[in-house]
Amino acid sequence: MKLLPGFTSKKRSMKRKLFAYMFILVALVLTLLFSGLLLLGQFTGAEQTTFETLDFQADVFYRQIESHIEGLAVMSIQLSVDIADAIEKYLSENHIGFSDINDSEINIAAVQEATFNILRQKLLEAKCSGAFIVLNATVNTDADKAANSHTGLYLQRSSLDYSDTGILLYRGLTQLGKEHGVMPHRKWRLEFNTDLFPNYAQLTADSKLPLTSAYRLSDIFTLTGTSERAVLMTLPIIGRDGTVYGLCGFEISESYFRHTFSQPSKLEHAVFTINKGSEGIINHADSFSCGITDGYYLPPNEAYRSSSFGNGLTLFQGDTSSYIGVTKQVNLCKDSDTFYLTALVPKQDFDRWVLDDTVRIILLVLLILTATIGCSYFFTRRYLSPIKKSLEQLKQKEYDRNSGISEIDDLFAFLAEQDRINEAAFDTMRKEKADMQTSLDQIRNAHDETMQQVERLAYSRKNEVDPYDYEDFKNGLKFLTEREKEILDLYIAGKTVKEIVALTGLKESTIRFHNRNIYTKLNVHSLKQLLRYAAIMKQEEGERGKTNGIS
Amino acid sequence: MKKLLSFFLIGLMLCFAFTGCSDKPKLDPDNPVTLTMWHVYGEQADSPMNRLIEEFNKTVGAEKGIIINVTLMSNASQIGQKLLDAQDEVPGVPSMPDLFFCHSSNAEELGVSNLLNWNDLFTEDELNNYVPEFLEDGKIGDVLAVFPVSKSTHVLYVAGTQFDRFAKDMDVSYDDLSTWDGFFSVAEKYYTWSGGKPFCALDYPIRCVELNALSKGAENFYTEDGWYDFDNPVFKESWMEFAQAISKGHIVVSDLYSNTMVMTGEVIAGIGSSASILYYNDVITYPDNTTEPMNLQVVPLPKTKDADLLVTLAGVGLCSYKTTEQKAEAAAVFARYITEEARNFEFVASTGYMPVNKGSFEKIKDYAFESKAYENLYTTLFEVNKTATAIREPSFAGYYEKIYALYDRLREMQPQLTERFANGEDAAKLAAETWELFRSIE
């Protein structure tokens, strides 16, 4: 808290304090978020993510191809052994040597017949698009280019549709094919032209046992008469005496490759290539490519030069397009050429991911900021503002009990009740005050009246009272009976004769009798004179009291 | 602040409202729609269609957000069954494509209600650019379900080098092949000259029988359930003419495609689709591995003597399986692209088809073809288009399965027929057996 003394100062407003705390909260949330993502490995750059994804894809691609090639190698070895056995069986049964099949339509037809079903069976069993046998023999050594013409069989699957077991005869005797229900390919030829057979001379020269290490993958070439490219797995056909009868193997066409090796991937435009030769370049001419499962891809269609892109990635730059990729160097055949498998994504996709990443982070920060500002605004409106408003109301003593905050409503209720109690007490006091004032006024009035009476009496005493009569009056008081004194006091108290009758229970005549005695003893002639003397006497007693009190 | 918030919410609601109420999902270059496709162009050889699709994907497709992905290449005779298998989700068969090429009969089997009506996607002005007969050929009822992209007809291919040698020896000429009578006569002479080899392989013999029957005045030889009226005497007469030639071994029903039989020297002529030219080799290879140049000649299908030339109007068309409006829009873009005047001509000129765009036909005369064989073909097609009457192929559901069954049975039967004829049996009697075979197909 000491870090932000300005915000925590008591003199700061609640609004500023809330803003400060929210700011701290945002910083904390962002720090925790990014730290958490970093710790969980989720917060990585596009380069790193791309490398990891492509490296994984390249691994999967490699394992699939390796497994496929191994399976095909096993089938090739079986094919080679079975074909060699079939040829030797035919040669043995007919007591001829292998060279005797040259220039012999009959022997060649017979050898093809002996091997046809073996080849067809292996074609249907193996994962490939075609299967072939090329023998070191020709049906006509006198024909043009006979040196490069080799008899044999080449069968192809008619469709990539696995439910379709149709087979076409690409090379071989058409009559034989028809007898086995196999129609000629539209671009059929009778024999192989080894000039067009990839690496034929080298493959023949390398033909040696053991078969387990003799299988090879050819260069990519175009199947004669078509636009289809293919790669061949080849294996020598070697007799028991070591005679090399020819080559056999399987074809993987470009269409088959695309269909079979398309990779499951979340990268929509990913491209996977295999090429033999240089790591530093991917050339459409000597590579196969495929895309993702059930997806479409634009195959690389030119030569791409490679350069390091950092983070384990390689940039493949062509004249019209470029890719980012990860390459793996692999050996698919023993003692043979190295292959390069590459998982690629178009550079423009990669650039977009980098941009997306940046935008995503900016949006995330903005989102958190917006959410916090929104929350602050909300808190201010829904929490702080009512409190401030209530405080203002407190100042104004306006207790609106609908503040929306129960504690404030309770406080307002309490204060209102206190006000009501205070008001009631005040009213009582005011009433008491008014009553007292009334009493005071009455007392004042009585006093004033008395004073006026006294003044009048004093005045009349001065003017009307005979001092001797008055002395007689005072002296006469000592001679009054108890009853007469009682009646005299009642007269002095202002009572009438009838009231005195009622109060004393005496008869009026009795009262009149006492009156005459009183008048006589006091030497007065009327009630009025009597009351006047009594008032003077009372006044004198009062003044005497005052004088005694002062003294 | 409160006002700002209100504007933001209103804006957001309007965004959602407009998004939800947009009448159709538009094509988006940043989020392209992929249409899978099956086609029949260049199955075993080169495929100009694949190149056209690649070009489309790179240009108009990339610009509008459409990707065409070819998932199967087949041929016109097999694609129908494969489509039905795909519709039935038969294991191993690729998924039903969004776009495919097939015959009208195949389209009918798939269910017209499952297919787009191209009339809804093209304006009347646009449709006026196409050859009306070709559009008519793609209609099932009132629905234009099969859009013409290219059309073929049947022509007579002749291996020129061999025919010239034979013609010189036997005093025959290409003119003799202009009528069926002349054709059968030449076939007989060749059979004799070659020592028992058939002259010609027919890919679609039933079409030859039909056209010949029509020329002879046959009417209504189809039954209501999409097969033949075997009580139609003219139709039977026409059949018997061909059947006798087959029985004698003068002509054969091709193994599948006549071009392979010409290439192996089994026959020197073949009647097949004009699109077969894509598959002809430059040379004929004999069993002893000797070869000679093909020198391929292309002439119109023979006609019936004293009748006008009738030719078949064949070829598959483009169908689009009904899925989403976005895909329908994309399909229409692609259909317009591949049938645009210049592009349509470039495409058909390399595949042996006839263009469907009226303007494309005029370009044939001045076009520099890639080979003499193609030039021969298009000279013939131009002449056929000018002079012949085109007859639509039957489009009855299930029709082609029966026809292919008939061809299979005839192929099995013909070696025995030839042998029995050689052994002295009467050709008319043997032909009658083929008629019974024909009648037995149901």
From B44, B90, B286, residue closest to A168, measured CB to CB:
B44
Per CATH, B26-151+314-362 and B154-313+395-440 having the same topology is answered yes
- The answer to whether the Cβ–Cβ distance between A163 and B93 falls below 8 Å is yes
Contacts of residue B29, Cβ cutoff 8 Å, sequence gap at least 6: B62, B63, B64, B65
This complex has an ipTM of 0.80
For residue B260, list chain A residues with Cβ-Cβ distance below 8 A: 174, 183-186, 188
Contacts of residue A209, Cβ cutoff 8 Å, sequence gap at least 6: A238, A242
- The answer to whether the Cβ–Cβ distance between B290 and A140 falls below 8 Å is yes
For residue B285, list chain A residues with Cβ-Cβ distance below 8 A: 188-190
Q: Is A153:A172 a contact under the CB 8 Å cutoff?
A: yes
CA dihedral (A491, A495, A500, A501) in degrees, to 10, reads 130
What are the E-state strand segments in A291-391? Answer: 303-310, 313-317, 322-330, 339-346
- The answer to whether the Cβ–Cβ distance between B264 and A185 falls below 8 Å is no
Question: How far is A191 from chain B, CA to nearest CA, in Å?
Answer: 7
Cis peptide before A210 (omega within 30 of 0): yes
pLDDT in tens, chain A (551 residues): 444 554 555 567 777 777 788 788 878 888 888 788 777 766 667 788 889 899 999 999 999 999 999 999 999 999 999 999 999 999 999 999 998 999 999 999 999 999 999 999 999 999 999 999 999 999 999 888 888 899 999 999 887 776 677 899 999 999 899 889 898 887 888 999 887 788 787 777 777 778 887 888 888 888 888 888 899 999 999 988 888 899 999 999 988 898 889 888 888 888 999 988 766 667 777 888 888 887 777 778 788 888 888 888 889 888 888 899 998 888 887 767 788 899 998 888 888 888 888 888 888 888 888 887 787 788 777 777 878 888 887 788 777 767 777 888 888 888 888 888 988 999 999 999 999 999 899 888 888 887 787 677 666 655 667 778 888 888 888 888 988 889 988 888 888 888 898 888 888 889 888 988 998 888 888 888 888 888 888 877 776 665 554 33
Residue type, A467: P
The C-alpha atoms of residue B77 and residue B402 are separated, in whole angstroms, by: 12
Q: B263 φ, ψ to 5°?
A: -65, -25
Question: How far is B364 from chain A, CA to nearest CA, in Å?
Answer: 25
From A149, A163, A188, residue closest to B289, measured CB to CB:
A149
Residue A398's closest CA among A419, A423, A384, A380? A419
From A105, A226, A295, residue closest to B44, measured CB to CB:
A226
Structure tokens at A396: 């104004």
CATH 3.30.930.10 fits B26-151+314-362, yes or no: no
The C-alpha atoms of residue A247 and residue A234 are separated, in whole angstroms, by: 6
DSSP code string of A87-144 = HHHHHHHTT--GGGGTT-HHHHHHHHHHHHHHHHHHHHHSSSSEEEEEES--S-TTST
Domains of chain A in sequence order = 46-59+259-353 (no CATH), 61-225 (no CATH), 465-550 (1.10.10.10)
The C-alpha atoms of residue A460 and residue A533 are separated, in whole angstroms, by: 10
Contacts of residue B294, Cβ cutoff 8 Å, sequence gap at least 6: B159, B160, B161, B262, B263, B280, B281, B282, B283, B284, B373
Residue B39's closest CA among B31, B30, B48? B48
For residue A154, list chain B residues with Cβ-Cβ distance below 8 A: none
- The answer to whether the Cβ–Cβ distance between B260 and A185 falls below 8 Å is yes
Q: Is A225:A187 a contact under the CB 8 Å cutoff?
A: yes
The C-alpha atoms of residue B175 and residue B187 are separated, in whole angstroms, by: 13
Contacts of residue A15, Cβ cutoff 8 Å, sequence gap at least 6: A380, A384
| DSSP secondary structure code for residue A526 in this structure | S
| DSSP secondary structure code for residue B26 in this structure | P
Q: Which residues of B touch A (CB under 8 A)?
A: 1, 34, 42-47, 50, 57-58, 67-69, 72-74, 82, 85, 90-95, 255-257, 259-260, 263-264, 266, 278-279, 281, 285-291
Residue type, B28: D
CATH architecture of the domain with range B154-313+395-440: 3-Layer(aba) Sandwich (3.40)
- The answer to whether the Cβ–Cβ distance between B58 and A298 falls below 8 Å is yes
The C-alpha atoms of residue B188 and residue B203 are separated, in whole angstroms, by: 19
- The answer to whether the Cβ–Cβ distance between B287 and A191 falls below 8 Å is no
Q: Is the pTM of this model over 0.95?
A: no
Strand partners, B139: B144
Interface probe with B: pick from A145, A190, A269, A379, most Cβ of B within 10 Å: A190
Q: Is A342:A287 a contact under the CB 8 Å cutoff?
A: no
For residue B45, list chain A residues with Cβ-Cβ distance below 8 A: 186-187, 225-227
Residue ranges of the domains in chain B? Answer: 26-151+314-362, 154-313+395-440
From A143, A186, A298, residue closest to B44, measured CB to CB:
A186
